[in-house]
Amino acid sequence: MKKLDGLYLPDIMTGAARYQNGWTELMPHIKPGRAVVQAGGHIGIFPRELSKQFDIVYTFEPDAENFACLVRNAQGPKVFPIRAFVGDLHECRELRINSKSTGGHSVGGTGDVPTLRIDDLALEVCDLILLDLEGYEFFALLGAMQTIARCKPLIIVEENKKSGGQGFQAGAIATLLASRAYRPIANVGENIVFESRK
């Protein structure tokens, strides 16, 4: 781990501009609120920025080095970092390491990293669910159905060709969320913004 331009980074990273730009693009769609669940916490840029707009930020990151950076970059009483995957089943999965991008690690087969469900948090209030899980977003949403039904949060998910590697096709998230009275309202790069129609 190293410190560069005020941020703690994994040793192989040369900078964080790409991730900071991603936050800037999403900002217009995010309104201040009480609680947010963010998964794919990476080095903590999104959790840190979300803590400026939300009372509580629950953030998930499975990789040990990314998690260590996240904890340092997103310090404060509003941020609750959790080192785990999010999905639909309680199980331990493999962390597939992407040697070219610390933001590209993904869920593999059976392994050592615990998987939790967003519903395990039993939140009474959740204003936003923000997922960047390298193709595993569909399963994270399956594990959030009770929270979605109860809280009707804004939902922002990454959807790209990586979803096929996890066993579902493009459009599956929109179909799942449409069954819960959600509709897409914006596309921001590879992210789709969904809001409840209720």
Reported as type and span, the H/E element at residue 116 is strand 113-116
Cα maximum dimension of the chain: 46
Alpha helices in the chain (DSSP H): 17-26, 45-50, 64-73, 137-142, 145-151, 172-178
The number of angstroms, rounded, from the C-alpha of 134 to the middle of its chain's C-alpha atoms is 9
SS3 75: coil
**Residues contacting 109, CB < 8 A, separation 6+:** 93, 94
More confident residue, 28 or 22: 28
Is the pLDDT score of 164 beyond 80?
no
Q: What percent of the chain has pLDDT over 70?
A: 93
On whether the CB atoms of residues 139 and 117 are closer than 8 A, the answer is: no
**pLDDT-based confidence at 170, cuts 50/70/90?**
confident
On whether the CB atoms of residues 111 and 88 are closer than 8 A, the answer is: no
Domains annotated for the chain, with CATH where assigned, are 2-196 (3.40.50.150)
Is the pLDDT score of 152 beyond 70?
yes
Average pLDDT of every residue of the chain: 91
Q: What is the mean pLDDT of residues 14-25?
A: 72
- Kindly report, residue by residue over 88-101, the tens digit of the pLDDT: 999 999 999 988 88
- Kindly report, residue by residue over 65-85, the tens digit of the pLDDT: 999 999 999 999 999 999 999
Q: What is the pLDDT of residue 37?
A: 98
Q: What is the mean pLDDT of residues 145-158?
A: 97
- Kindly report, residue by residue over 178-194, the tens digit of the pLDDT: 999 999 999 998 899 99
Q: What are the contacts of 23-32 at 24+ separation with CB within 8 A?
A: 23/49, 25/188, 25/189, 25/191, 26/130, 26/156, 26/188, 26/191, 29/154, 29/156, 29/186, 29/188, 29/193, 30/128, 30/130, 30/154, 30/156, 31/127, 31/154
β-pair partners for 182: 196
